[in-house]
Amino acid sequence: MSQFKDWKSLITSMKTEFSNTLHEIKKEFDEKLSLFKNEVNEQLQAQRNDSFRFEEVLQELNDRQARKQNIIMFNVPEQSTDADTDTRSAAKSVEVSIILQSILPTLNVSSVQSYRLGRLNSSKSVEVSIILQSILPTLNVSSVQSYRLGRLNSSAKC
């Protein structure tokens, strides 16, 4: 019977030792799992940030490509505030077409869209945003200046 008690005691101590060891293994596993989850979450967040930055850069490149066809013209004469919107818009379009044709004779001005920037004020000239359907060739600055000088000379003669 004493041998039976010894075996029982040995089994109980082994069970306790096994339980303690299992508890330590589980605790270590939980800690490593928690560290792994944190690392995975950090990686996912970094990946999301990189993806967002990539999308942001891609959007900026697309916007730049679209704006590549835009021109802003300054000092375009504004029509009288008494004229209706359609009349002012038509006059502005004619003025823009004349300017563009003198600078770029090969440009198809029928595909040009223009919008006045800023508030309506007949006492001053305005800025006009011009959106072209095709990309402009590189402008020769001397042709722009010669148009400007020609326009100044013709207006001084009047």
Ordered per-residue pLDDT tens for the chain, 158 residues? 788 888 888 899 999 999 999 999 999 999 999 999 999 999 888 888 777 788 888 889 888 887 877 888 877 777 666 667 777 778 888 888 888 888 777 777 777 778 777 777 666 777 787 877 665 555 555 555 555 545 544 444 43
**Cα–Cα distances in Å, from 71 out to 39, 63, 92, 135, 153?**
49, 14, 15, 11, 24
